[in-house]
Amino acid sequence: MEYKLKETISKDAFRYGYLVNKIFPFLKPHMGRIILNMIVAVPLGLLDGVVAFALKPYMDCVINGKSWVIGGFTIEQNVLATAIPFAIVTFALIQGLLKYTNNYLTDWTGNKVSNSLKVELFRKLTSLDPKFYDINSSGIVLTRFFTDPETASKNIINTIKTFIMTVFGILGLVAVLLFNSWKLAIIGVTVMGIAITPVTLIRKRIKKVSNATMVVGGDMTTNFNETFAGNKIMTAYNLQKLQNNKFEKQIKEQFNLTISLTKRVGWMSPIMYFICSIGIALVMFYGNHLIISGQMTAGSFASFVTSLLLLYKPVKDLGRTLTDLQSTFVALGRVFELFDLIPYIKNKENAVKISGLQNSIDFEHVWFEYEKDLPVLKDFNLHIQKGETIALVGNSGGGKSTTVNLLPRFYDIKSGSIKFDGVDIRDIDIESLRNNISFVFQDNFLFSGTIRENILMGKETATEDEISNVVKMAHLDEFLSTLEKGIDTYVGERGASLSGGQRQRVAIARAMIKNAPIVILDEATSALDNESEAIVQKALDNLMQNKTVFVIAHRLSTINNADRIAVINEGELVELGTHEQLMAIPDGNYKHLYDMQFKNQETDL
């Protein structure tokens, strides 16, 4: 399975049957309204024909003073003259009502379908594992999320509706043409047919341009998101110009694409008009002859020409509807490509639920790679006893974070196994696995909301007492007392209004309140100064009590507290033991690291 989303057309864009099957369950709950909408579209389409048809009795009877004979009935001039104004008002009223119903139903069903698609898509997005987010740009994902469901669902209903309306519009008008003169009708319809051929020819070119527009759109969104997230770096390195140029280039490209589309499409309409004018000229030419020779009344002719003129729009719409239908399927293809993604990390059928750790965690011959054939962990073995604190140290990029990221199954390993109490974590129910792990990252992410809300993410049901307890233990109380709204202070998107150290302490409080038996601290105190670290270290000691702990740190104080130290270099476990044991290895990696990195910190303690 491929996790990478295609930038433009998905592989399924032209499997119409498959896509209809897929969208059907989303349409089904609203079928009543959708069908009603389609039914309303029929009279709406026919209305144009009625107007054109009415011109004949109006001109021949009301203006020329004859009675109107239709289907055996005779209607007098004065009756018609009174009835027609009323008919116009009634007609407008009916048309208005139908249009309103039609628009309402189209919008209602379109939005409903689009919303349920979005809800499902969002659910899918949250179910996908980190790898998906590693390899797809935010721009592409956002377009997939915001634009495609709208295009797909709104278009599909609108297109079917317009299709019905135009088909009935065309049928009605053609009936009026035939009613007035079948000879003229043949000329008119033939010319109309010629006039719309350019529409069918040009469709392919339009598609190519709209795909390119989409890629640029995605790039722009990514650029925009990066400008947001990387705002400080942009400012610090004076990258504004670079970002601006990038954006200007993209917007220019978008302009060129739009204009090239206009150039390709813009000439179509005038040409169609031109061909149509030839048609009307021909009709006039022949029609004049019919009127003069008494084979046709003036009213018939007026009605005919009006029908022909009115026919232009639905015929053109029909062409557009077909193009719309195509883009609907393209959007549907993209939506369902996302739907069809199967998370790499998912529960096995008979996944077991765990509660707590009884004995040990084992890494057995673990091989892991992010990218194919670039192993990051190589035959990694490690046995961790319950209640033990193990420190991971080693060179940057050696694989420490990777090792701990494998425990909650952010990624799955390539071979070997990771076991909790002898059970492979791939056989454990993912939710229960993650429930047993508290994670504090180096770069802690807070959600927009209050500090309280962020802490409660560790345990939704926590009591006031539990909250104030962890606030104290994470040494947040002093900081919170300086805030006007205390724990209910809003932290902004990503927690932007807090300092790195404050964010880290909120994250520690979040991990504490979760009170999971396994604790992972990946550089959890790196953003703190020595003094705060000493304080938070005490907090962490609380967090670590009676827990099985993995701690990655660059500070000796944290490492000193560990029962054992594992040195990981280039994805391999090179040394394992207590501080004393490792220091005793002559020319050892740890000793080297210690001499280089930790020794100077001893004076701080």
Ligand X SMILES: Nc1ncnc2c1ncn2[C@@H]1O[C@H](COP(=O)(O)OP(=O)(O)OP(=O)(O)O)[C@@H](O)[C@H]1O
Residue 408 corresponds to which tokens in the numbers above? Answer: 């909650």
Q: Residue 228 touches which of Mg ion, ligand X, none (CB < 5 to 8 A by kind)?
A: none
Q: Which residue has the tokens 């009675």?
A: 67
Is residue 375 within the footprint of ligand X (CB under 6 A)? no
DSSP letter assigned to residue 563: S
569 is a site residue for Mg ion (CB under 5 A): no
Stretch that binds ligand X, among 54-62, 264-272, 396-404, 582-590 (CB under 6 A): 396-404
Residue 376 as a binder of ligand X (CB under 6 A): the answer is yes
Would you say 134 or 340 has its CB closer to Mg ion? 134
Do 502 and 509 meet the contact criterion of CB atoms below 8 Å apart? no
Phi first, then psi: what are they for 382, rounded to 5°? -160, 130
Chosen from ligand X, Mg ion, none, partner binding at 65 (C-beta under 5 to 8 Å by type)? none
Rounded CA-CA distance 131/402 in Å is 13
Across-strand partners of 437?
518
Nearest to 37 by CA among 157, 117, 150, 172: 157
> CB-based burial of residue 308 (10 Å sphere; 0-12 exposed, 13-18 middle, 19+ buried)?
buried
* Beta carbon of residue 512, minimum distance to Mg ion (angstroms, whole number): 22
Contact positions with ligand X (CB under 6 A) in 265-324: none
Coil, strand or helix: which one is 566?
strand
Could you say which residues in the range 107-146 bind ligand X, by CB under 6 A?
134
Question: Of 217 and 398, which CB lies nearer to ligand X in the complex structure?
Answer: 398
Q: Which of 397, 477, 485, 584 binds ligand X (CB under 6 A)?
A: 397
In this complex, which beta carbon is closest to Mg ion, that of residue 223 or of residue 403? 403
Contact 144, 128 (CB under 8 A): no
Question: Site mask, Mg ion, residues 383-402, x = CB under 5 A?
Answer: ------------------x-
Question: Please, are residues 315 and 170 in contact by the beta-carbon 8 Å criterion?
Answer: yes
- Per-position DSSP letters for 60-84, written without gaps between them: IIIIT---EEETTEEE-HHHHHHHH
Residue from 120, 284, 283 nearest 192 by CA: 283
Partner whose footprint covers residue 370, from Mg ion, ligand X, none (CB < 5 to 8 Å by kind): ligand X
**Cα 87 vs. chain centroid, distance in angstroms?**
50
CB-CB neighbours of 234 under 10 Å = 17
Angular region, 202: left φ>0, alpha ψ -120 to 50, beta rest: alpha
| Complex with ligand X: residue 174 or 376, whichever CB lies closer | 376
Total site size for ligand X, rule CB under 6 A: 12
Torsion of CA 78, 79, 85, 90, to 10 degrees: 180
Specify the residue, 303 or 444, whose C-beta has the smaller distance to ligand X. Answer: 444
Q: Which stretch, 154-162, 270-278, 392-400, 458-466, contacts ligand X (CB under 6 A)?
A: 392-400
Least Cβ distance, residue 365 to Mg ion (angstroms)? 22
Q: Does 77 bind Mg ion (CB under 5 A)?
A: no
Pick 401 or 589: Cβ nearer Mg ion: 401
Q: Which stretch binds ligand X (CB under 6 A): 120-128, 390-398, 480-488, 597-605?
A: 390-398
Answer with the entry of ligand X, Mg ion, none that 25 interacts with (C-beta below 5 to 8 A by kind).
Answer: none
Which residues are near ligand X by CB under 6 A?
134, 370-371, 376, 394, 396-402
Which residues are near Mg ion by CB under 5 A?
401
